[in-house]
């Protein structure tokens, strides 16, 4: 008689499936089954990767760039990224401070693993991206979430941060522009939060994956830019997926003080070796052919900005919905709490009854809201808004 297998690990049992990916998978399955679904769930640009980046990857494949790469990334890409941070953001950066990883998500995870030990606390402002608390738990640390609602523009205040800090606090996670709200901290707001983190000797993981997706003339600011102390303790995470429509390429980046970058590379060497070699060579073209990159990015930004306004006014035109106009990323985070339905039921019924996929706010630690990704065609957005209006009118 065979033995009953032992239970799975506490890591596997306690981690939850990514809800953003789960809702997106459900929407895609419905589409594949022939349903006319308006998918507002995934944070995935509908554009194709710019042609020059794809061509560079194809060329790299042809040239045999199919072997292992150095663990922290191919040297020219690390150099290009160091130059980007030095020149664009005024953060003096060397290639030794840069690690290229298989996706922004993995960059975040390695950062958390490099900084946190069991027993440490990590301050996670909510609404948060779904994976932060789970990554913290996978490191054996404890996420301490602090909710900032639409009343403060979804932004953490220094008072809220101070109140969340304990002697166990090790890391503060910041994400501006934010997924899921699109909120962007002003330089002054970010400077104050950074000062609190410095005062309490916290590390900052600054997830800047939406750094280029900004509207209304807003400029990107990194917490690392405020002082030398801030720079030493800030780990900047970013990647190619959102800016260059490269979600499937899985290419993330980490920029940190050299000892932290080395720790991250050590963890990477034991978990995944390196980010896909020819994908790295392809992504390098984003910098070596910067003019073409700028044209492609500007085109995407024009479309995103138009859609942002379209969805914002469409949502606010629906009785019972209130939505702030966010200045970054490609998300809006409307308040749907007036309908007397919890957000999970609201989104489930919206998908079942009107075939509109959106992610409930609870997934981001913010019940009563939902996330709309407007990284999709105007036509789909119009159709989805129309259906959402009908759904709400029927409640």
Binding positions for ligand GLU, rule: CB under 6 A: 18, 20-21, 42-43, 105, 129-131, 179
Q: Supply the minimum distance, in Å, between the C-beta of residue 21 and ligand GLU.
A: 5
For the stretch 76-80, contacts whose Cβ atoms lie closer than 8 Å and that sit 24 or more positions apart, written own/partner, are 76/284, 77/280, 77/281, 77/283, 77/284, 77/287, 80/284, 80/287, 80/288
43 or 73: CB nearest ligand GLU? 43
Phi, psi of 390 (to 5 degrees): -65, -45
Q: How far apart are CA 240 and CA 253, in angstroms?
A: 8
Sheet containing 359-360: give its strands across: 331-332, 370-373, 359-360
Q: How far apart are CA 392 and CA 395, in angstroms?
A: 5
Q: Supply the minimum distance, in Å, between the C-beta of residue 59 and ligand GLU.
A: 28
Sign for the pseudo-dihedral over CA of 42, 211, 361, 11: positive
Q: How far apart are CA 178 and CA 326, in angstroms?
A: 9
21 or 195: CB nearest ligand GLU? 21
User: Considering only CA atoms, which of 129, 131, 134, 259 is closest in space to residue 203?
Assistant: 259
268 or 373: CB nearest ligand GLU? 373
Q: Supply the minimum distance, in Å, between the C-beta of residue 209 and ligand GLU.
A: 8
Q: Supply the minimum distance, in Å, between the C-beta of residue 129 and ligand GLU.
A: 6
Measured at CB, which residue is nearest to ligand GLU?
Answer: 43
Sign for the pseudo-dihedral over CA of 122, 196, 146, 358: negative
Identify the three-state secondary structure at position 351: helix
359-360 and 203-207 as β-strands: parallel, antiparallel, unpaired? unpaired
User: Considering only CA atoms, which of 115, 116, 114, 136 is closest in space to residue 125?
Assistant: 136
84 or 105: CB nearest ligand GLU? 105
Q: Supply the minimum distance, in Å, between the C-beta of residue 18 and ligand GLU.
A: 5
108 or 284: CB nearest ligand GLU? 108
Question: How far is C-alpha 267 from the geometric centre of its chain's CA atoms?
Answer: 21
Q: Supply the minimum distance, in Å, between the C-beta of residue 365 and ligand GLU.
A: 13
Residue keyed to tokens 């499937």: 248
Q: Supply the minimum distance, in Å, between the C-beta of residue 179 and ligand GLU.
A: 5
Q: Supply the minimum distance, in Å, between the C-beta of residue 326 and ligand GLU.
A: 14
Q: Supply the minimum distance, in Å, between the C-beta of residue 242 and ligand GLU.
A: 8
Identify the three-state secondary structure at position 382: helix
Q: How far apart are CA 53 and CA 58, in angstroms?
A: 9
182 or 226: CB nearest ligand GLU? 182
**10 Å Cβ neighbour count for 62?**
10
Q: Report DSSP letters for 302-322, one per residue.
A: HHHHHHHHHHHHHHHTSTT-B
145 or 169: CB nearest ligand GLU? 145
Q: Supply the minimum distance, in Å, between the C-beta of residue 191 and ligand GLU.
A: 27
Phi, psi of 155 (to 5 degrees): -115, 140
Contact 68, 280 (CB under 8 A): no
101 or 131: CB nearest ligand GLU? 131
Q: Supply the minimum distance, in Å, between the C-beta of residue 131 and ligand GLU.
A: 6
């Amino acid at each position: 008689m065979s033995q009953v297998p032992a239970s799975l690990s506490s890591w596997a049992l306690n981690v939850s499936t990514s809800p953003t990916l789960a809702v997106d998978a459900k929407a895609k399955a419905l589409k594949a089954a022939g349903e006319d679904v308006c998918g507002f769930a995934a944070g995935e640009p509908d554009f194709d990767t710019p042609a020059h980046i794809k061509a560079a990857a194809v060329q790299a494949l042809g040239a045999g760039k199919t072997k292992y790469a150095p663990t922290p990334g191919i040297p020219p890409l690390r150099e290009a990224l160091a130059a980007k941070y030095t020149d664009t953001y005024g953060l003096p950066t060397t290639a030794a401070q840069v690690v290229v990883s298989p996706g922004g998500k993995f960059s975040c995870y390695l950062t958390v693993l490099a900084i946190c030990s069991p027993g440490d606390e990590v301050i996670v402002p909510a609404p948060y991206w779904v994976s932060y608390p789970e990554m913290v738990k996978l490191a054996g640390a404890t996420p301490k979430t602090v909710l900032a609602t639409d009343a403060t523009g979804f932004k953490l205040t220094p008072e809220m941060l101070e109140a969340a800090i304990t002697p166990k606090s090790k890391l503060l996670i910041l994400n501006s522009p934010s997924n899921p709200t699109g909120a962007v901290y002003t330089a002054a707001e970010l400077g104050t939060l950074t000062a609190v983190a410095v005062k309490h000797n916290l590390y900052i993981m600054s997830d800047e994956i939406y750094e280029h997706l900004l509207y209304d003339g807003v400029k990107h600011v990194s917490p690392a830019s405020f002082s030398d102390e801030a720079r030493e303790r800030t780990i900047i995470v970013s990647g190619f997926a959102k800016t260059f429509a490269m979600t499937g390429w899985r290419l993330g980046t980490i920029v940190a003080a050299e000892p932290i970058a080395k720790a991250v590379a050590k963890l990477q060497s034991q978990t995944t070796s390196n980010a896909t070699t020819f994908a790295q060579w392809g992504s390098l073209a984003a910098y070596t052919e910067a003019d073409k990159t700028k044209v492609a990015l500007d085109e995407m930004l024009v479309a995103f900005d138009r859609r942002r306004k379209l969805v914002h006014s469409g949502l606010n035109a629906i009785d019972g919905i209130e939505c702030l106009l966010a200045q970054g990323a490609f998300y809006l985070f409307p308040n749907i709490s007036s309908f007397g339905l919890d957000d999970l039921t609201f989104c489930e019924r919206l998908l079942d009854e009107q075939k509109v996929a959106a992610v409930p706010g609870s997934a981001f630690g913010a019940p009563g809201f939902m996330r709309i990704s407007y990284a999709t065609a105007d036509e789909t957005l119009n159709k989805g808004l129309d259906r959402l209006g009908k759904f709400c009118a029927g409640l």
